[in-house]
Structure 1
Amino acid sequence: MPVIERHAAPLRQQVLLLLRDEILEGRRAPGERLRENDLCAAYGVSRTVIREVLRQLESESLISVIPGRGPIVAVLTKREIESLYEVRAALEGLAAALFARRASAADCARLIDHHAAMTAEYLHGTLASREESKSEFYRILLAGADNDVLSDELSGVHTRIGLFRRYAFLDDDRVAQSFEELTAIVQATAVDRDPVAARATSEHHIELAGRLAVLEYERRVTPEGGLVHLDEVAV
């Protein structure tokens, strides 16, 4: 049973973080039903807390509420995944271009240094270290881009992509290719300070990641290799 601290953060926030992590880490599979009674028992909290948490996760598009069935872990269609990556490519391309134009010398040094550290943490690391290393890369990039609206919009996209993003970190060949693409982004943004090249290299990276995301999600979500649709989810 997850450990809930009664005197730390509010119960709702603790349960929200735990359940969100379970979904994003794949411990709760796409299409899995989220029964209130089971969740109350698992976390040792009231229905009121669970309902508040489920409403928040629904607002983040991590769960869907199916009439007559209740909440389930969100299941995405191929088109939804493609759409997410189209938006992600546009936003991250903009972030890279803004970084190239606005970032300070210290921001550039941070990105270059972190990229160098990624050789161990990303190329030869664990699933967890790869995820954290990539997330830190984007935190530095967005800090240098200095656009809070852009950061907020990307945060929502990254949350939804978290439903299947981890699959990309399981394939060593894709991780190696991804590292080369990140190298090109660092060169364009922090070394050459070229906004046009920065946007192009970032968009290229996300376009390739999007193709893999569709293939991996299709292959892993169902044994047959096809995406589960909401109207096919078992009661």
Structure 2
Amino acid sequence: MPDDSLQITPQPVRRQVEERLREAIITSRFMPGEHLSDRMLCDLFGVSRGVIREAVRLLEAEGLVIVVPNRGPFVAYLSAAEATQVYEVRGVLEALAGHGFAERASTEEVAELRAVFEEIAATRPGADRMALLTLKRRFYDVLLRGCRNSYVARMLDQLLNRNSQLRATTLSDPTRLPHTVEEIRRIVEAVERRDAEGAWQACRDHVAQAARVALRILNERAATGGPAPARRPAARRRAG
């Protein structure tokens, strides 16, 4: 019989499970603090325990999952205080990306950023949240590629993964989308003018407004008795 410990996991299968589990967390199918048992996930996705554990490990690195010793993996809980810190760092990194993009992106990349924005602008309130998050991810992919700063791109990309739950949270507010569109329009118009300072400020303003909405929702949830979070012991806790 084949030794399961030596089997090679097909990359596409692991990637599919990782993406579907990430989507389930971002869209709140799995709520903060919920236990992600191996058996439940194996049954849900129809894959082996090894595939599940690899996907969980990768999402733990993104901060979407925490693994509590002797208890297993749980959906990570992000408090309002932690969210504030995430947005503070994201605001600076995103502004640097916008500034660099305005200065160094190619004409083709500027046009590509405009094209993705037009898709976002065409989205109507009530549209599929995951589809909109995918569009925003494409927007950031172009922005990070065109800013020509690999350090900013790497750090912001990692932070955006941690920020996924918060972005989904802001989009749960039915009034948020029109404001998001106008904020991103300002970013695109600034880079089209090659106005680096304007792009910096537009990015800072976009993140500040997103933070305001997310923190309001998180505080409202806490006040009404949200899910009890599973937390890693302080000495072992991963930084967000």
Q: Calculate the TM-score normalised by the size of structure 2.
A: 0.81
Q: Does 1:151 align with 2:153?
A: yes
Alignment partners' CA distance in 1, 2:15 and 2:115:
34
The alpha-carbon deviation at position 223 of structure 1 amounts to 7.6
Partner of 1:199: 200
Partner in structure 2 of residue 169 of structure 1: 171
* SS across alignment from 1:219: helix
> Which structure 2 residue ranges, 5 or more long, are not aligned?
1-8, 233-240
Matched residue, 2:6: none
Check if 1:116 corresponds to 2:118: yes
1:98 corresponds in structure 2 to: 100
1:1-235 mapped onto 2 (5 Å cutoff): 9-121=11-123, 125-190=127-192, 192-220=193-221, 224-225=224-225, 228-230=228-230
Alignment check: 8 A CA contact 2:79 2:218 kept:
no
Measure the CA separation in 1 of the matches of 2:174 and 2:189: 23
CA contact (8 A) 1:100 1:198 kept: yes
- Alpha carbons 1:121, 1:133 under 8 Å: kept: no
Q: Per-residue deviation at 1:170?
A: 3.1
Query: Equivalents in 2 of 1:161, 1:173: separation in Å?
Result: 20
Q: Aligned in 2, Cα 1:231/1:91: closer, same or farther, shift over 3 Å?
A: closer
Of 12-21 and 68-77, the range deviating more from structure 2: 12-21
Segments of 5+ residues of structure 1 without an aligned counterpart are 1-6
* 8 Å Cα contact 1:96-1:195 kept in structure 2: yes
Of 108-117 and 158-167, deviating more is: 108-117
Separation in structure 2 between the aligned mates of residue 124 and residue 101 of structure 1, nearest angstrom: 36
> Shift in Å at residue 123 of structure 1?
6.1
Larger mean Cα displacement after TM superposition, 106-115 or 31-40: 106-115
Amino acid at match of 2:200: R
Match of 2:236 in 1: none
Task: For residues 81-111 of structure 1, give each alpha carbon's deviation from its aligned partner in whole angstroms, at most 9, with x where no partner exists.
Answer: 1111111111110000001110122222222
In structure 1, how many angstroms separate the alpha carbons of the residues matched to 2:128 and 2:20?
A: 21
CA contact (8 A) 1:168 1:213 kept: yes
SS, match of residue 31 in structure 1: coil
Residue 148 of structure 1 and its aligned partner are, at CA, apart by 2.8
TM-score, normalising length: structure 1: 0.83
In 1, Cα distance between equivalents of 2:26 and 2:138: 17
Contact kept, 8 Å, 1:78 with 1:227, in 2: the verdict is no
Tell me the equivalent position of 1:4: none
The Cα of 1:133 is off from its aligned counterpart by 2.6
Query: Is this contact kept in 1: 2:62–2:162, CA < 8 A?
Result: yes
Counterparts of 1:56 and 1:48 in 2: how far apart (Å)?
A: 13
Describe the superposition over 1:43-86 as per-residue Cα deviations: whole angstroms up to 9, x where unpaired. 33333333232222222211112234221100111111111111
Task: Tell me the distance in 2 between the aligned counterparts of 1:49 and 1:110.
Answer: 35
Deviations 1:94-144 (A, max 9, x none): 000001110122222222333334331366844234223322222222222
